[in-house]
C-alpha cells in the first residue's frame, strides 16, 4: 500500500488505536496467555498460589502406552477360559495400579484388540481427551468434504437461469441465519427415540415395518446424527461462497467450450472446476475451522454422551476450563486444538498451492 499521502503518525495511531487495542487485548493476549497458562496449574478461583508445572499438563493429556496381556494359565500351563469359553486375562487395573509397572501408573484402557492368544490394550492417561480428539477428527473428516461437495451441488443447482430461482436460493440459505442452538433443540425432537419426527416418518414410509431408533441415545448413531444436522444447518453458507466463485467465471469460456462441442461434464471439468480453485481452497479451510469448533450441538444434544461417543475437543475445553474451573487444563486443550487447526490449514494450503 504505497501512499503519496504525507506521514501522519499521530492521526494514524489515533484512528487505529481503539480497534488495534481491543484486538490485542481480547484476541492476541488471550491467545498468548493460553500457551502460558498451559504450563501452570492455574484454576479460576483458588486459595493456593499458581505454580509453573512445565509440560505436565501436556504429559497428562497425551501419554499413551501399549500393553500386551498374556492369557492366564493354570499350573499345567494350559490357557484358562471362563464359563463362556473366553480366554481369561489379568485385569488391566491390576497392572495400572501395580508398583511393578510405573510407566502405566494412573492410566486406563482406551481400546484393545485380540492378537493371537494375547490381547493388546492401548492405555491412555486421559481416555476422555483421546476420545474427544478422535471424535473431532471423525467429525471433521466426514463433514468437511461432504459439506463442501453438497454445497457445490446446491450452488450449481441454484446457478441456473430459471424464473423464481431466487426463491429457492433464499430457502436453501435460511437455516444459516437460524442459531445452531435453536437448530439443535429442534432436531432433538426430530431425533427423539420415542416421539421423534424422524422415527414417525420412517415408520410411516415403511408401513410400520421398521421400528424406531434412539438416534442420539446410541453411541453408533449419535455422532452421525449430529453430522447430518450440522451439514443441514451450514451448507447454505458455503453454497453462497461457491456461488460467488461460479459467478466470477467468464461466460465467454462456456461459449468457447460449447463451440468446441464440449459436453456438460467436460464444461464442468475443464472450465468450471479450474475456475473454482481459489474458492475451493477457501471453502475447505473455512469448513475445517468451523468443524473443529464443534461445541453447541454437543452441549445442547448429548453433553458428550452416550459413552463419550460425542465428546469433542471444544466441549472438553469448556467442561474443564469452565465446568471444573481447571483453567490450565482447558487452556492446554485449546493450545493443542489451535496447533491442529494451524497445521491442517498449512497442509491444505500446501496441497492446493498454485503449481507453476
Partner 1 sequence: MAAISPDNHGLRLGLRYLVLVLVALIFALPLLFMVVSSLKPDAQLLGDTSSLRAFLPVGDISLENYTQAFRMAPIRLFVLNSVLVTGLTVALSLLICSLAGFAFVFLNWRGRDLMLSLILATLIVPFETIAIPLLMICSKLPWLGLDGIEWGWLNSYRVQIIPWIADGLTVFLFVQFFKDLPRELIEAARAEGASWWQVYTRIVIPLSGPVIATAAILKFLVMYNQYLWPLIVVQEESYRPVMVGLGYFFQLNTPWGALMAYLTVITAPVLAFYLILQRSFIASIASTGVKG
Site string for partner 1, 245-264 (x = CB under 8 A): x--------x---x-----x
Q: Which of 66, 149, 178, 347 binds partner 1 (CB under 8 A)?
A: 178
Helix (H) or strand (E) holding 39: none
| Position 28 contacts partner 1 (CB under 8 A) | yes
Footprint on residues 199-238 left by partner 1 (CB under 8 A): 200-201, 203-204, 232, 236-237
| Position 77 contacts partner 1 (CB under 8 A) | no
The stretch among 1-9, 53-61, 106-114, 131-139 that binds partner 1 (CB under 8 A) is 1-9
CA distance readout (Å), 315 to 144, 220, 235, 348: 19, 19, 22, 25
Give min distance, CB of 130 to partner 1, in A. Answer: 19
| Position 157 contacts partner 1 (CB under 8 A) | yes
Residue pair 355/51 in contact (Cβ under 8 Å)? The answer is: no
| Position 154 contacts partner 1 (CB under 8 A) | yes
Which of 111, 100, 25, 35 is CA-nearest to residue 66?
Answer: 111
Footprint on residues 298-317 left by partner 1 (CB under 8 A): 299-300, 314, 317
The 3-state DSSP class for residue 81 equals strand
Question: Of 279 and 310, which CB lies nearer to partner 1 in the complex structure?
Answer: 279
| Position 139 contacts partner 1 (CB under 8 A) | no
Q: Which of 5, 76, 84, 207 binds partner 1 (CB under 8 A)?
A: 5
| Position 31 contacts partner 1 (CB under 8 A) | yes
Residue pair 197/189 in contact (Cβ under 8 Å)? The answer is: yes
Residue pair 249/275 in contact (Cβ under 8 Å)? The answer is: yes
Helix axes 277-292, 219-246, angle to 10 degrees: 150
| Position 30 contacts partner 1 (CB under 8 A) | yes
Q: Which of 64, 79, 210, 244 binds partner 1 (CB under 8 A)?
A: 244
- Quickly tell me which residue has 487495542 as its cell: 21
Q: Which of 98, 115, 134, 170 binds partner 1 (CB under 8 A)?
A: 170
Q: How far apart are CA 334 and CA 311, in angstroms?
A: 15
Residue pair 278/270 in contact (Cβ under 8 Å)? The answer is: no
Question: Of 123 and 291, which CB lies nearer to partner 1 in the complex structure?
Answer: 291
Question: Of 96 and 272, which CB lies nearer to partner 1 in the complex structure?
Answer: 272
Residue pair 338/317 in contact (Cβ under 8 Å)? The answer is: no
Q: How far apart are CA 66 and CA 80, in angstroms?
A: 23
Question: Of 123 and 236, which CB lies nearer to partner 1 in the complex structure?
Answer: 236
Site string for partner 1, 315-344 (x = CB under 8 A): --xx--xx----x--xx--xx-xx--xx--
CA distance readout (Å), 186 to 155, 207, 233, 297: 26, 25, 11, 11
Q: How far apart are CA 63 and CA 129, in angstroms?
A: 11
Q: How far is CA 166 from the centre of its chain?
A: 32
Give min distance, CB of 286 to partner 1, in A. Answer: 8
Give min distance, CB of 131 to partner 1, in A. Answer: 18
Question: Of 24 and 55, which CB lies nearer to partner 1 in the complex structure?
Answer: 24
| Position 241 contacts partner 1 (CB under 8 A) | yes
The stretch among 16-24, 82-90, 110-118, 141-149 that binds partner 1 (CB under 8 A) is 16-24
Give min distance, CB of 321 to partner 1, in A. Answer: 3
Phi, psi dihedral angles at 136 (to 5 degrees): -65, -45
Q: How far is CA 59 from the centre of its chain?
A: 23
Amino acid at each position: 500500500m504505497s501512499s503519496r499521502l504525507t506521514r501522519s503518525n499521530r492521526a494514524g495511531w489515533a484512528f487505529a488505536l481503539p480497534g488495534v487495542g481491543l484486538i490485542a487485548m481480547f484476541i492476541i493476549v488471550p491467545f498468548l496467555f493460553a500457551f502460558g497458562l498451559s504450563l501452570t496449574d492455574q484454576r479460576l478461583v483458588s486459595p493456593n498460589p499458581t505454580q509453573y508445572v512445565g509440560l505436565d499438563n501436556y504429559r497428562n493429556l497425551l501419554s499413551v502406552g501399549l500393553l500386551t496381556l498374556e492369557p492366564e494359565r493354570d499350573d499345567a500351563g494350559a490357557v484358562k477360559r471362563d464359563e463362556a469359553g473366553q480366554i481369561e486375562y489379568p485385569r488391566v487395573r491390576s497392572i495400572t495400579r501395580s508398583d511393578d509397572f510405573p510407566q502405566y501408573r494412573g492410566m486406563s484402557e482406551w481400546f484393545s484388540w485380540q492378537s493371537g492368544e494375547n490381547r493388546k490394550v492401548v492405555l491412555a492417561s486421559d481416555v476422555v481427551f483421546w476420545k474427544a480428539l478422535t471424535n473431532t477428527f471423525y467429525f471433521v473428516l466426514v463433514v468437511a468434504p461432504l459439506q463442501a461437495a453438497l454445497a457445490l451441488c446446491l450452488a450449481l443447482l441454484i446457478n441456473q437461469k430459471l424464473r423464481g430461482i431466487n426463491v429457492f436460493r433464499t430457502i436453501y440459505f435460511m437455516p444459516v441465519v437460524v442459531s445452531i442452538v435453536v437448530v439443535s433443540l429442534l432436531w432433538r425432537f426430530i431425533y427423539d427415540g420415542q416421539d421423534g419426527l424422524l422415527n414417525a416418518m420412517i415408520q410411516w414410509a415403511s408401513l410400520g415395518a421398521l421400528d424406531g431408533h434412539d438416534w442420539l441415545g446410541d453411541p453408533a448413531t449419535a455422532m452421525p446424527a449430529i453430522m447430518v444436522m450440522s451439514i443441514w444447518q451450514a451448507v447454505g453458507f458455503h453454497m453462497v461462497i461457491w456461488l460467488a466463485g461460479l459467478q466470477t467465471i467468464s461466460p465467454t469460456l462456456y461459449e468457447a467450450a460449447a463451440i468446441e462441442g464440449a459436453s456438460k461434464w467436460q464444461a464442468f471439468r475443464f472450465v468450471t472446476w479450474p475456475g473454482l480453485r481459489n474458492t475451493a481452497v477457501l471453502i475447505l479451510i473455512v469448513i475445517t475451522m468451523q468443524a473443529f469448533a464443534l461445541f453447541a450441538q454437543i452441549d445442547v444434544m448429548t453433553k458428550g454422551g452416550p459413552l463419550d461417543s460425542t465428546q469433542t475437543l471444544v466441549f472438553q475445553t469448556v467442561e474443564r476450563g469452565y465446568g471444573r474451573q481447571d483453567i490450565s487444563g482447558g487452556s492446554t486443550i485449546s493450545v493443542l486444538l489451535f496447533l491442529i487447526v494451524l497445521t491442517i490449514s498449512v497442509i491444505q494450503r500446501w496441497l492446493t498451492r498454485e503449481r507453476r
